[in-house]
Structure 1
């Protein structure tokens, strides 16, 4: 399972949804301005405030998804990248040491 790809797809869904909401929100507020229910400054502030809240919630959602994905991977026993890097380093050191011992035996 490519977790980076999964996370990227989830984020893109969130970004796409936010863009769609922003577009529809602007359409609605433009209609309100045309009907005289709001002036253009009120509409702009309304859109800015709502989009700020949506962006804040999206950031919280992304953090929560990352945390849940990390927990799920840990529960499944999938090693973290740092653990894999550490094991690779240990393996490299052991292979080097083995070559040194082999070279000493052949001399």
Structure 2
């Protein structure tokens, strides 16, 4: 499983968790309105504020997880895609140079 698959799975877990939290927050705020603790506008603001905080936290979590994953892969010696692409380009150039030299030798 490559790093992008792990990241996708982590994000899906985060999205699922966020959905559950949003649902529970909505249920709690609806119950507070029903109990007369707060009015519907306050409940809506409460839900929006909490969801905004979750979105900010989730963005921070995602970027932190991505950095940690990149560091871990680097520590394990796993090359980045850009490094692999650069090496493939260098190999292609070297193969071309070898073919050119071989063609010159046979002329």
TM-score between the two structures when normalised by the length of structure 2: 0.96
Q: Following the alignment from structure 1 to structure 2, what is the Cα–Cα distance between the partners of residues 65 and 5?
A: 13
Aligned to 2:30, the other structure's residue is in SS state helix
Gaps of 5+ in 2: none
1:104 shift after superposition:
1.2
Gaps of 5+ in 1: none
Aligned residue number for residue 16 of structure 2: 16
Q: Following the alignment from structure 1 to structure 2, what is the Cα–Cα distance between the partners of residues 19 and 53?
A: 14
- The answer as to 2:51 corresponding to 1:51 is yes
Aligned residue number for residue 41 of structure 1: 41
Give runs of ≥4 in structure 1 deviating > 6 Å: none
Aligned residue number for residue 27 of structure 1: 27
Q: Deviations over 1:2-56 (max 9, x none)?
A: 1000000001101100000000110111111111111110000000001100111
TM-score between the two structures when normalised by the length of structure 1: 0.96
Q: Which has the higher contact order (CA 8 A, sep 6+)?
A: 1
